[in-house]
Structure 1
Amino acid sequence: MKKRLRIILPLAALVIGGIFAFNLLTQQKDSSTLRFSGNIEVTETQMSFRIPGRMQERLVEEGDTVKERQPLARLDKSDQTIALAQAEANLAYSRSVLAELEAGSRPEDIARSEAAVMQARQTLTELQNGSRSQDIESARADLDSAKAAEQSAIVQLKQARIDQNRYISLYKEKGVSKNTLETYQINFETAENRAKEAAAQTKAAKLRLELLRIGPRIEQLHKAEAALQQAEAEYALIKAGPRQETIEQARAKVKVALETVSQAKQQLIYTELAAPMNGVVLSTSAEAGEYLNTASPVLTLGQMDKPWLRAYIHESDLGRIKLGQQVEVTTDAFPGKTYSGRVSYISSQAEFTPKTVQTFEERVKLMYRIKVLLENPEHELKPGMPADGHIDFGSR
């Protein structure tokens, strides 16, 4: 028995010493390296429309690679298109009003207003002077001439209407061009205006003759005086041209119309959802035909070019790791392949380790979160993929 003990004790001492030496060597090796594990993460961007509406189409699916500014989805833009057309029409009208005001009164408008003053003055003068026989005869001749002119205008109008209807039928049968049809339509409108003007002249001639026959009444004199005053006031306004404040008001309306057009164009742009960056569609949340409110999620993009490894280190290793430090990362999905990265973030506060750590000793330790920024040109690293990081302090 003693002989056996003599043999066993030296052997045990040898084994214990070997274990101690192995642990010492291991610790020395570990002091020059730092290993940690974590998961790959990417920058995720949830894409949504800035305005509500019914989604007309989604142009991408999960897993699709997209480029910056590439269209991803579209809303029905019928309302926005109509709003833009109305805004542009209002802008065109506002500009035309401003241009007319800035140009001032046209010579023909001034001449027409001056003629109205002369006519009103002549009417008042005739009423004040009473009727003379030669005036009555002249008025009767004017009435006959006006009636003849009106009858001629009516005949021309009837013929113009017949011609217009005939060419409308020919145009529908493609027998004449649109330009030809428009010519006869213009002829009809001209004849119609002439007929109305001739009827008005006949009516005025009748009234003048009646006034000459019965003589002026006091209320007619007052009415003629008021008509002359109104004609003179209108002539003064037209001759002076628009006031500066009226022009400024028109300019303000043009400015508002321009802003409305700009807003309508922006709303139309908002009906298309475009990629803000190069990336991959990680998930989709809406389908064509759905009504979406503002900020309703449509899809999620991941920036795959620059993922990072999210990991935790013990506080005892905190002084060994620095921002910008080079890290080599490996994954189970691509054994033997190493991805180069650099430490881009070190948490300023200690955190408990995630629940994925199994042992009680490690669960109660306070850990510091770090991020290792990686290059991923082939998009091999995917979100959620487990990975291991390795820092070799001896190679610095």
Structure 2
Amino acid sequence: MKKPKKTIMGVLILLLAIGTGGYLWKTVRSHEPADDGLTLYGNVDIRDAQLAFKEQEVVREVLVEEGDTVTQGQILARLDSDRLTSQLKEAEAQYAAQQEVVRRLTNGTRRQEIKQAEARVVEARVQVRNAARRVRRLEKTAPVGASTEQDLDDARASLDMARAALNVHQESLALAREGTRKEEIAEAKQVLEARDAHLSLLRQRLADTVLHAPAKGIILSRILEPGEMAMPTRPAFVLALSEPKWVRAYLPEPALGHIRQGMTARIHSDSFDDRFFDGRVGFISAQAEFTPKSVQTAQLRTQLVYEVRIWTDDPADELRLGMPVTVTISVPPSIAQSENPKKGFRPGMEG
């Protein structure tokens, strides 16, 4: 009875070994480079942006935390805006006052003001006629001693003054009928434009007290806190942009002539099993360099390589900064076989 049990146990162990071996073989095969492609190993790279306020003011509130995903235009933080709000109200009042000045000058002299000027001219003419009659009387009485020469001189002076006053009122009437000078209207309009520009500036400064996300991304660092002083030279956040996203890898010098910008590629990460991301060669360095120490074995560090960037689309934002990935680029089989060693290397391996 014991022999069948041993046989069953042996069969189970054999089946388990076969299953394990098959799984390991499949796993290894899924990570081996394709026979028809050049395999490179690199890391996911993205751009980050340091976001700062344009205004120098105290931070009122911060609305996001580190690790939060933000969308383009989302409000991240606000500054205290009381001082700018008061300046804006003052500028609005000055602009409205200057608008009234321009309107008054453009409309010209009112009809009632012209009638007043005409009445002053009539009055001045009456004064001239009265002064002239008095001069004529004194000219008759002075020779016979009925009046003095001084009285005659005073009368003549009064006549000259009346005539001068008449000329002044006549010119005033002409100016009233002509209206405001064009130069005065132009000056008032220029002042109005200056008020408007100052108003626009204050409105823009007030809008700049709110910090928006320039693009979709993830908050890497939250640097400023409420109560701290913000300024243009001091970042408030560091934002990792979701786009563009690429893989930074290094191309062996013999394969350089077979790689072109725009070539398609497949990107694989150990984090996603059998899933692949589509990519394309977007950048090939024009300058050779020795393989960076941090991404190759000691033997391969002495080889000349060229940095390449494989751009990829990742709308779900699954590829993260620094993630190690495998890139397969379609090239002629001879190149792929000569440049894909039996034992592949991965970033961070040391000899």
* CA distance 1:66–1:314, change in 2 (3 Å): same
Structure 1 residue aligned with 2:203, among 256, 265, 272? 265
- The answer to whether the 8 A contact 2:259-2:331 is kept is no
Task: Select the structure that is richer in helix.
Answer: 1
* CA distance 1:60–1:125, change in 2 (3 Å): farther
Structure 1 residue aligned with 2:103, among 94, 99, 103? 99
Identity of aligned residues (%): 35
CA distance in 1, matches of 2:122, 2:60: 66
CA distance in 2, matches of 1:361, 1:331: 25
Deviation at 1:247, TM superposition (A): 1.7
List per-residue Cα deviations over 1:182-226 (Å, max 9, x = no partner).
xxxxxxxxxxxxxxxxxxxxxxxxxxxxxxxxxxxx7x969x858
List per-residue Cα deviations over 1:311-347 (Å, max 9, x = no partner).
1121122223222222222223333332221111111
Q: What code does the residue aligned with 2:306 have?
A: Y
**Which structure 1 residue ranges, 5 or more long, are not aligned?**
1-28, 131-217
**Alignment map for 1:76-225 (pairs within 5 Å):** 76-116=80-120
* CA distance 1:272–1:232, change in 2 (3 Å): same
> Is 1:56 matched up with 2:60?
yes
CA distance in 2, matches of 1:394, 1:368: 19
**Alignment map for 1:208-247 (pairs within 5 Å):** 233-247=171-185
TM-score (norm. length: structure 1)? 0.62
Report SS of the residue matched to 2:85: helix
CA distance in 2, matches of 1:120, 1:364: 108
Structure 2 residue aligned with 1:287, among 211, 218, 225? 225
TM-score (norm. length: structure 2)? 0.69
- The answer to whether the 8 A contact 2:52-2:231 is kept is no
CA distance in 2, matches of 1:282, 1:85: 38
Q: What code does the residue aligned with 2:107 have?
A: A
Match of 1:214 in 2: none
CA distance in 1, matches of 2:265, 2:178: 84
CA distance in 2, matches of 1:371, 1:301: 21
CA distance in 2, matches of 1:367, 1:384: 20
Deviation at 1:51, TM superposition (A): 3.0
**Which structure 2 residue ranges, 5 or more long, are not aligned?**
1-32, 135-153, 337-351
- The answer to whether the 8 A contact 1:305-1:379 is kept is no
CA distance in 2, matches of 1:126, 1:64: 94
Cα RMSD after superposing both structures: 3.3
CA distance in 1, matches of 2:231, 2:214: 20
List per-residue Cα deviations over 1:142-188 (Å, max 9, x = no partner).
xxxxxxxxxxxxxxxxxxxxxxxxxxxxxxxxxxxxxxxxxxxxxxx
Match of 1:35 in 2: 39
* CA distance 1:105–1:344, change in 2 (3 Å): same
Q: What code does the residue aligned with 2:316 have?
A: E
Structure 2 residue aligned with 1:371, among 298, 309, 326? 309
CA distance in 1, matches of 2:332, 2:132: 122
